[in-house]
Amino acid sequence: MTAPISLYGHKVLVTGSARGLGESFVRALVQAGARVAISDVLHERGQALAQQLGPSACYVPMDLLDPTAIEAGVAEAAGRLGGLDGLINNAAVTNSGGKYFNEIAIDTWDRVMQVNVRGTWLVTRAAHPHLKASGRGRVVNLASDTALWGAPRLLAYVASKGAVISMTHALARELGGDGITVNAIAPGLTLVEATEYVPQDRHDHYMQGRAITRAQLPADVNAAALFLLSQGSGFITGQVLPVNGGFVMN
């Protein structure tokens, strides 16, 4: 199948991309002609994916809880790809799923914020010089439609993704002068390993509320990410695009 958008020659770092939605992005990017740095804490899976995809992909270990590892990982990715002109901030943890707001441990809250919010900031900060030097920098943040409709029993994650949306707006203004666009995608409940814990009633809630009444798959999100990394999106920045079958509509 031919990729809907060509990213031939683009060099993209995707965090949290050894499995799930991140893996789907990586595969779509390679198909679209990009060279991709896969990064994750799942080292064996990341290395296996890079090996499977061949010379267009490499694996770079990166733990978003460790600022030093982030700096080193971004530097290695840029070095191995020969620069960066795209970044997908996909890595995230949920950890608070199924718990009411007063059942979440403080350590859990802090971990979610450190990975999802601080990690997104630090990866973007480390990638900024490379994105600026490329002259066509693109940042795509993964938010979530849970932050748009206020999903219950998921507060730490919802709050973190709300922060990612706000960061997207502010970073778009700060980085616009460097020719870098910053946008976010807000997927709905997607069938990946990370959502296997989600109870059936939440799946039913989404299914009943979508305009397109089927399960959401990782492939449903790929085209939005590819477009926001492309030259054609050069005058679009600071935007949040819900990709959820019409469960949330702007």
Catalytic residue annotation: 157
Least Cα distance to 89 among 36, 174, 13, 196 occurs for: 13
C-alpha 230/C-alpha 195 separation (Å) is 29
Q: In one letter, which amino acid is 231?
A: Q
- The number of CA neighbours under 13 Å toward the Cβ of 186 is 27
Burial class (CB within 10 angstroms; exposed 0-12, middle 13-18, buried 19+) of 123: buried
Q: Please name the amino acid found at residue 218.
A: P
Tokens of 153: 């029993």
Distance CA 129, CA 242 (A): 29
H or E, element range at 155: helix 155-175
User: What's the half-sphere exposure (Cβ side, CA atoms, 13 Å) at 248?
Assistant: 19
**Which residue reads 């995608």 in tokens?**
185
Cβ(182)–Cβ(213) below 8 Å: no
Radius of gyration of the chain from its Cα atoms, rounded to whole angstroms: 17
Backbone angles phi, psi at 186, to 5 degrees: -120, 85
Distance from C-alpha of 111 to C-alpha of 67, rounded to nearest angstrom: 14
The answer to whether the beta carbons of residues 179 and 136 sit under 8 Å apart is yes
